[in-house]
């Protein structure tokens, strides 16, 4: 990734709302005719969540170049709620309309909102994802992991160790002067070459090589490039439709004209409860996983009813000394990181004797109401019950 930090932020422009509405209708027609529709997102889609952009008049890099301090209030990426733009893209993905998403953002909101791992290239990394330098195992975490020792910006050690092999864990953030990850970049190029429509949302398109993705579509005969950004971009001349608007204002209109509701953000968690035998003793192991099976850390502690011990470190393991009758209900109290104010949750796990067993619990938290909903997935079917 190459640096090009401006000393003076590019001026922002706004189309009249009636023009935005008219252009939204044109975009809808293009979406409906498209066979391989992709989107490309930048920091501008997260500003309404309270996360500053980089190159706007008060962008992070603009302020740094000018030697100014930020005076406006910001929101931590761990506490930010995905915006209407994020959730519109999720729904378009779920309906098979949006085929692929390429993002420059590392705030983690796309994955948290519900974009599937195999449908997105996070070209500049994800602040919630790390990987083992030795075995390559990936981890998703719901907290900041910062090494306690002094290190440079290009030292990606998080201070944590791999649970599988004990190797050093590295963050996935791509800094200036570093190469983009090969696999996500190749997937982005592949989808750009297939695309007949690319919608750019909230990006100034000034950082290579990520900005080459929309350029590929814009240069392709018969394909359409649409850019929605408040500032000018270097490839505006390649667009079929140029929209100066906040991305939420555009996407709300687009979804209305498609007659597709924008879903409310729900925080999805997947919890595995495994019964294992180790050294001739039974133990219960509790751990989080992402939708693709990647280990996910989102719990602070786990407590078994009638057991005074609270387990506060991973792996969350509960050992049983005596015999437990099959069918015994084990009440587990889960404490979460609480970035969205999640209250503790109690799940009742039925003890099954015999070979090692594993149950996948589907947890859904509504940050707007403060309510949990739980379900159990057995193979490919899931049943739900409200707590």
Q: Which residues form the catalytic set?
A: 124
Report yes or no: 131 and 172 within 8 Å, Cβ to Cβ.
Answer: yes
Measured CA to CA, the distance from residue 240 to residue 227 in angstroms comes to 9
> Residue 162, annotated ligand binder?
yes
Largest CA distance in the chain: 73
Measured CA to CA, the distance from residue 336 to residue 70 in angstroms comes to 31
Beta bridge partner(s), residue 346? 333
Beta bridge partner(s), residue 365? 267, 372
Strand, helix or coil for residue 24: helix
> Residue 106, annotated ligand binder?
no
CA distances from 201 to 23, 130, 214, 353 (A): 14, 26, 11, 53
Report yes or no: 372 and 344 within 8 Å, Cβ to Cβ.
Answer: no
Helix (H) or strand (E) holding 9: none
- Residues 6 or more apart whose CB falls under 8 angstroms from that of 41 comprise 85, 89, 101, 102, 103, 104, 105, 110, 200, 201, 202, 203
Measured CA to CA, the distance from residue 339 to residue 373 in angstroms comes to 18
Reported residue count of the chain is: 387
Measured CA to CA, the distance from residue 267 to residue 86 in angstroms comes to 13
How many other β-carbons are positioned within 10 Å of the β-carbon of residue 287? 19
Radius of gyration of the chain measured on its C-alpha atoms: 23
How many other β-carbons are positioned within 10 Å of the β-carbon of residue 57? 14
Strands 224-228 and 241-243: parallel
Going by the annotation, the residues of the binding site for Zn(2+) are: 132, 135, 162, 165
Going by the annotation, the residues of the binding site are: 132, 135, 162, 165
């Amino acid at each position: 990734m190459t640096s090009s930090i401006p000393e003076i932020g590019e001026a922002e422009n706004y189309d009249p709302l009636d023009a935005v509405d008219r252009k939204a209708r044109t975009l809808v027609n293009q979406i409906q005719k498209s066979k391989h529709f992709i989107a490309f997102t930048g920091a501008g889609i997260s500003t309404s969540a309270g996360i500053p952009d980089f190159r706007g008049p008060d962008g992070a890099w603009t302020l740094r170049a000018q030697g100014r301090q930020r005076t406006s209030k910001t929101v931590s990426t761990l506490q930010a709620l995905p915006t209407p733009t994020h959730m519109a893209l999720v729904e378009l993905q779920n309906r098979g309309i949006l085929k692929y998403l390429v993002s420059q953002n590392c705030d983690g909101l796309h994955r948290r909102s519900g974009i599937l791992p195999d449908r997105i290239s996070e070209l500049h990394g994800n602040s919630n994802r790390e990987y083992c330098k030795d075995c390559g195992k990936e981890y998703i975490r719901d907290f900041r992991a910062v090494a306690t020792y002094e290190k440079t910006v290009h030292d990606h050690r998080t201070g944590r160790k791999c649970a599988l092999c004990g190797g050093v864990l590295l963050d996935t953030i791509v800094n200036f002067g570093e190469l983009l990850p090969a696999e996500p970049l190749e997937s982005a190029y592949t989808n750009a070459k297939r695309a007949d429509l690319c919608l750019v949302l909230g990006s100034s398109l000034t950082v290579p090589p990520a900005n080459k993705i929309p350029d590929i579509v814009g240069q392709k005969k018969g394909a359409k490039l649409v850019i929605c950004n408040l500032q000018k971009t270097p490839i505006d001349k390649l667009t079929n439709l140029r929209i100066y608007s906040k991305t939420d204002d555009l996407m709300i209109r687009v979804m209305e004209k498609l007659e597709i509701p924008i879903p409310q953000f729900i925080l999805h968690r997947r919890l595995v409860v495994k019964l294992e035998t180790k050294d001739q003793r039974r133990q219960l192991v509790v751990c989080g996983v992402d939708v693709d099976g990647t280990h996910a850390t989102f719990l602070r502690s786990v407590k078994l009813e009638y057991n005074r011990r609270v387990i506060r470190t991973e792996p969350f393991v509960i050992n049983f000394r005596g015999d437990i009758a099959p069918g015994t209900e084990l009440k587990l109290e889960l404490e979460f990181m609480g970035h969205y104010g999640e209250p503790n949750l109690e799940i009742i796990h039925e003890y099954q004797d015999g070979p090692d067993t594993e149950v996948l619990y589907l947890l859904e938290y509504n940050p707007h109401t403060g309510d949990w909903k739980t379900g159990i997935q057995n193979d490919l079917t899931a049943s739900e019950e409200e707590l």
